Amino acid sequence: MIWLVFAALSTIGLLFVGLPLRRRSEMTSVMADTTPAVLLDQLDEVKRDLERGVISGAEATAAEQEIKRRILMQSRKTAQATKELTSGGRFAIVLSAMFVPAFAFGYYAVMGSPEIPGIAFSERTAERQETAKVADLTNQLYDRLTTDPSGGPSEGWMLLGQTYSRMGRFADAAEAFGIVAKRPEATSAVFSMLAEALISAEQGVVTPAAVTAIEHAMELDPSNPAAVFYKAVALRQKGDIAQAHDLLIRRLNNADSFYPWMESFVAEANRIGAEISRAPISLADFAPLVSAPGPSQEDMEDALDLTVEERQAFIMSMVERLAARLEDEPDDFDGWMRLGNAFSVLGDREQAIAALERAEVLLSVAPQNDPRRQTLQEALARMRQ
């Protein structure tokens, strides 16, 4: 249906262009016929004046020659104007009128999204209301933080910065993160978030301020994935392409398990490596999927013969084993999520929240669009109710 509408609009547009051109041609023809007729009348007037004796024969001859010269000149001008209009201007206008709709049609068919259904304005009410609500809450948080005599808690500024980042207001996010970065409790994650906001605000350009933030993040935690990634970006923009590639590969080699940030590292390493003829890498080279040790088949068979109390103790022993492993491997996000879920099933609300909060700390360096963020927030919300 939409293509029929486009075709109808294009036809109407061609009519609007073509009709004035036709009228202009007719008007030009009328002018071409009228001007010589006036000059011919002037020739007849000269003859009548000669017959009445008003002018002499020499004057009549001179006047007739001048009028005939004007008739010839006017005829040439009319022919030239008609030729230019027909072969030049009119052709260009008609060609443009036909080419522009055809080009627009082809471009939209290739680059547009005609298959996506339209959404009525009224159906976007909930989305607009949610957006307005988030903006209002963000403004309230900003007012509360800026009017706080103590400068506002760091957690509030970090929340404000993350909200600004999700809204695409990267300059405001950098300002919020920058306030926390000046405080003694600023962590490596704070500086890496500041660097990310500064880079995003400049459309991917690593500014000197972003470089400073990256260096602070690396000093506090050399293994911070976000800091390492943006350090590589900075090196590449500086021209140290090989060094940037080596930095990414070194961090991938130091990973003890799979982490979502590794996908971005592999993609960036391959993009940089292509510029210096380095062999492409794959995620499987660095990310063996290590999971928490679960119960063996023998353990499961033994559990079937246990009483309720014994089974509860068996489950608790497995949870304690997982907790002990996580103390030795604190960077296992999935492990902390499993531990929080296990404590939740056992009814230990405080321990569940503590485990989920440990997972939340690890996720602070992950991209804002990481789907695990929503899963974690939902789990924390359930436990804090």
| 100 vs 87: CA distance, rounded Å | 20
CA distance 7 to 329: 64
User: How sure is the predictor about 30, in pLDDT bands with cuts at 50, 70 and 90?
Assistant: very low
Closest CA to 283 of 261, 300, 302: 261
pLDDT band at 64 (very low <50, low <70, confident <90, very high): confident
Which pTM was predicted? 0.48
Sequence-distant (6+) residues with CB within 8 A of 295 are: 303, 318
Query: In Å, what is the CA distance from 71 to each residue of 42, 43, 82, 84?
Result: 11, 10, 17, 20
At 183-235, the pLDDT tens digits run 999 999 999 999 999 999 999 999 999 999 999 999 999 989 999 999 999 99
pLDDT 10s digits, 281-340: 887 777 543 334 444 445 545 555 556 666 666 667 777 888 888 888 888 887 888 888
Top-confidence residue, 285 or 151? 151
Mean pLDDT of the 102-114 span:
62
Q: Using the predicted structure, report yes or no on whether residue 84 has a pLDDT greater than 60.
A: no
What is the pLDDT, as a whole number, of residue 243?
A: 94
Among the residue ranges 98-107, 136-145, 269-278, the one predicted with the least confidence is 98-107
Residue of 164, 222, 223, 225 lying closest to 198 (CA atoms): 164
pLDDT band for position 116 (cuts 50, 70, 90): low
